[in-house]
Structure 1
Amino acid sequence: MTRPTDQPGHTPAQDEEARLAALNAYGILDTPPEPAFDDITELAALICDTPIAVINFVDRHRQWFKSEQGLGVRETPLDISICAHVILQSELFVVPDTRQDARFACNPLVTGEPYLRFYAGALLKSPEGFPLGTLCVLDHRPRELTEKQRIALTALASQVMNNLELIRVQQAQAALIEQLQSAQKELIHLASTDPLTGLYNRRAIEERLSQELALIERGRAPAALMLMDLDHFKTINDDFGHETGDRVIEHFARVCKNVFRQSDIIGRWGGEEFVVLLPGATEAEAWQAAQRLHQSLRQTPLVGDEHPPLLITVSIGLCSLSKDCELEDTLRQADELLYQAKDSGRNRTVCASATTDGETPDDLTTPD
C-alpha cells in the first residue's frame, strides 16, 4: 500500500496533520495501561532478550508510551526521540550501536541516563498507511537481533495494531449502541407524547393509569382522577381559526403544568379533553387543585391577535381511583361527572363525593 505521506501534491505539514488525525482517531493517547499491550512489551523483551521494551506513539510534541518495560516513564520530548526517526522508515529499524550512529551519538538518552546503546523498532502503521509509532526494544549495550527475533518483533507490532483496530471497532460499536439507545428513547417519547402539548398522549396515559391501579391494589394509597374538557372550544375554532385553537390547547397545557404537582400525570385525552392523575391525593385535595386551575385560567388569558384576549374555562369531572374499582368504570364515572359539570353551566368541577354522599352539588362544585 502506498503511504499517504508518499503521495504527490502533499506538503510535509499536510502529511503530518493527516498522520496526527489518524493517530487521534484511535483515542489511545493518555489512556491507562492495559494488559493486552503490557503482555506484548513483556513478550518482546523476553524474545529479544532486552531489558527495555516500549509501545510508543509519536504525538505532535512528544512520544507517549502506551506500555513500557524497564524504562520507568510514560513519555519523553519528541526532539530526543529515537522513534521519531523510525516512523520515517518502512521496515524494521535497527541501530546496533547508538554511539556509532551520527544521528544518535549526541542524544541525551544515549550520553546520559538511561544510556541507550541498542535500538530496534518495528513500525506501527494504520491500515491507511499512516505511521503512528513503534514497538521497540532497547538495551544498555551494543548488540544485534537474530532473524527470528526480527520476525517476532515485526509480528508483535502487527498484534499491537490489531489491538488498536479492535479498540476502534469497540468504540464505534459503543457509539452506535448509544445512538440506537438515544433513538429508541426518542421513539418511545414520540410514541407516548402528544406532539402539540408535550403531554402524555391517550395511549400513554391509559398505560400509566393501569400501572397506578396495579400499585394501589398492592397497597399504595388511592389516587384522584380528573377528566377535563375545554369549554366552547368548537366556537373558538369557528370564530378564530384552528391556529388559535392550537394555541389555546398549548396555553391550557402550560397552565396545567404550572398548577399541578410534579408527581401528577397530565395527559391529552383527545381533542380538547385532558386527564390528570393525582397519585396519593384524596378527592378533597384534588378538588383544591382544580380550584387553583380555575383561578389560574381566570388570571392568565390567552394574549394574541384576539381582542379582547381570550379567557379559557374548563369543566372537570373528578373521582377517586381505588382498589375497589375497575379502570373502565372509573373513567366512565369521571366522564359522567364531566358532563354534569357542563350541563350545570360549565367552568366548574363536579366531584364524585358530591353525588354519592348525599351532599348538595354546590358543596363540591366550582361555580362560574
Structure 2
Amino acid sequence: MLNPPISANERSRIASLKKLNILDTAPEDKYDRLTQFVSQLFGVPIALFSIVDSKRTWYKSRIGLDAKESHRNDSFCAHAILQEESFVVQDTLKDKRFAENPFVLSKPDIRFYAAQPIRSPEGFNIGSLCLIDNKPREFNLASQRQLKQIAAIVELELAARNGKAYCLESQLLNHDGFNQIATIGQKICRDADIPLAVMYFYVKGLAGLKDLKPDSYTTILKIVVNSLKLSSTGSDVIARYEESGFVGLFSNCSMNSLTSTAQQISTLVNNNLHQKRISNIEVICGLAEDDGKQSLDELIFNAYMAHYCNARN
C-alpha cells in the first residue's frame, strides 16, 4: 500500500479548510440529500462527502458507512484531492496503491472507488464527493461528468456558508441560491434523461404578518418549511423564492406524482394550521414540467402562471 503524497500547497489548503468552520459539525440536510442522490443515481451502497484534514479524513456526509472518519494514510480521498478531475479506481485489488489497504482487505470491502475533488471557495481541494462499491465496475466519461456536476453543487453549498445564498428565517435557499443550484440540477437531470418539474407554492396571507402578528408569522413559516421538507426527497431543491412564495425543483417524478406531492404538502400545511387555530391563510400551488428546452427562469415562470390560474379558479 502506498501512502497518499502531501501536496506542495498543503499549508494553504489546510488554512482554506479551517476558514470554512465545517470540521466536526453536525450532519446537514443539504449535504445528506446530495450523497443520498449520488448513491441512488449511480447505484452504489456507499457515498461520501469527505474532508481531508492534516491527519485524518472526516466524513461530513455519509450514506452506507458507519465510520465518521479514517486515518489520512488509509484514505482513498487523500489521493483524490491530488487530482483536478475525477479519480477512479475500477478494481482496488489490481491497483498497487490500494491492494493492501485495510478498507480493501476488510470492511467496508472497497473494490471500486470514484471521486470528484471538492474545492473550497478559494480554490483548494479540501475533500471529495466519492462513490464506493464492494465489486469492481467501470465508470465512463459520461458518469464522471455527472459526478463533477453534482460536486459543483457541493462547492456552491460551501460557498454559501456565509449565508448569502440562504434565507436566514427559513434556512432554505433564497432566490439567488436556488437559481445557482437548480441550474446545475436541471443540467444534471437532462444529461441523465431524468424527468424534472417545478412547483411554485404560494402562502396567501403571509405577507405583512411579520409585523402585525410575529408569533403567528413564525409558526406559519415553520409549518410551511417542515411540510416542504417532509414531502421532498434527497434530489429535490427547495427554496424560499419570495416573501410568500416557495419553489421546488423536483426530479425523477411525473406530473401525476408531483400533483400528489403538492396535495400532500397542502394537506400537511392546512392540518397543522388548523391544529394551531390559525385561519385566513391559503396555500396555492402551480406546477410546470420541463420539456428539455425551457430555461430555468421559463420553467419557474410557467409554474408561477399555473399557480396564478389556480388562484383565480
Q: TM-score scaled to structure 2, two decimals?
A: 0.49
Structure with the greater alpha carbon radius of gyration:
1
Higher relative contact order (CA 8 A, sep 6+): 2
